[in-house]
Structure 1
Amino acid sequence: MSMFSRLFDAIGETASTAFSGVVEAVRTVFAGDPETRRKVAFSVAVIALSAKMAKADGIVAPEEVRAFQEIFAIPQDEAANVARLYNLAKQDVAGYEAYAQRVAGMCGSGNANCAMLEDVLDGLFHIAKADGLIHEKELEFIANVADIFHVDEVHFDRIMARHVHPDGIDPYAVLGLPDTTPFDEVKKRYRALAADSHPDSMRARGVPESFLSIANDRMAALNDAYAVIEKARAAA
């Protein structure tokens, strides 16, 4: 039985009326299987918040749907269940804030700037920018979710710098450093972020294989930022 089938079997008719029933069930259905629990928690978080964000600007663009499909390669045997979750999230009477609060609790550590929740935010940015523009309401949505996730302002600015750069990419902002930072410190920060963003690290915290395009995008942004700084410092 697939993981989402197990989830729906456990919650039964509850899932027809409230997405919150799905969120609570993740905690118990997979309690004895922490690896699967992390994967299901991450998947449910991205499905639900993607569905709710897609309407943040009042329009669900085809590009946003395709972007969702890009980072969520749905196995054929899960397609119906994923569609059910997505549609349920759109219809739930609960606001996204209440749902994001439940997602925040899935991290487990209870600490600020949880890496798994940062992965969720990257997924939301990926979808929001798919139509060529991150709408003001979409950015507000993601920022509010980040606040609920206890992602501090400095950390969120670094995440956002990878995706939102109307005046061109700022390599120091991508690394979360001032432009006066000594190069040895730049290299240290780059290596730490690269290690945390490696696909193996993301797998370990529950990011499913289908979402690893997020890791590739993040690594590309980090590599580009470091290369620009290294070249500029060498020429100085």
Structure 2
Amino acid sequence: MKKLFTMLALIIISLQTFAQEKQTRTVAVFDKVNIRSAITAFIRQGSSTSVEIETDVANKDKIITEVKNGELIIRRDDQWKDWWKNNDNNKIIAYITVKDLKSLRVSGASIAKGQTAFNTNGNFELEVSGASRLSLDLTAKQVNAEFSGASHCDIKLNASEADIEVSGASHLDISGKTDRQELEVSGASHFKGNDFVSKKATIEASGASHAEVAVSEDVVVNSSGASHVDYHGSPSRAVTNASGSSKVRKVQ
């Protein structure tokens, strides 16, 4: 009987240790967000800024939330050696509300999901790397975006100008529209942008990359290596240059 009570006590302690707990963090005002080290973040646009962290009781003090130069950084403590083991007992969820988001960085196998559409009158910086995932609905004036590693992203974007770089084995599925697009794809990356309509576009493709673009007025494509570029639409001006075993094709 004594052994039974001991076992039950150990089970209860274990359950308490791994129980998920939500904690509000007090941080300074921020307009940029940086998510690192296998953290899942749900981000929304609201009238104020706030941060909540949900994780098991044993690990709640190992989560760092800090603001530097207006950038909210959420990461695991550097001493947490097993942070990369993304199991249920190691899972961290961040709930973030921001008034005017100007920059978003996601790295280290993290996941970021926009729970609302984001609107900003200025420029927007976006960076996703290291096998991270992102879903986002964004309206901005000018967007500079970089996707690297084996990142996988699904984005709806409306912008006056969009400068996009996709590298490594990354995959970007994008929809929306822009007046001008500068696109660079390399490595084994895939840019699926046949639902992202540009008035004018300049495409640079290399390696074994694949790009699908939609252009209404003017397109310039330079492809090399074993890259493959398909462009949709009927632009009045189309300049294409393909070298090596690369291909450029107009899709009806």
- Specify if TM > 0.5: no
Structure of greater Rg:
2
> Scaled by the length of structure 1, what TM-score is found?
0.29
> Scaled by the length of structure 2, what TM-score is found?
0.28
Between 1 and 2, higher relative CO (CA 8 Å, sep ≥ 6) is seen in 1
Which structure has more helix as a fraction of its residues? Answer: 1
Which structure has more strand as a fraction of its residues? Answer: 2
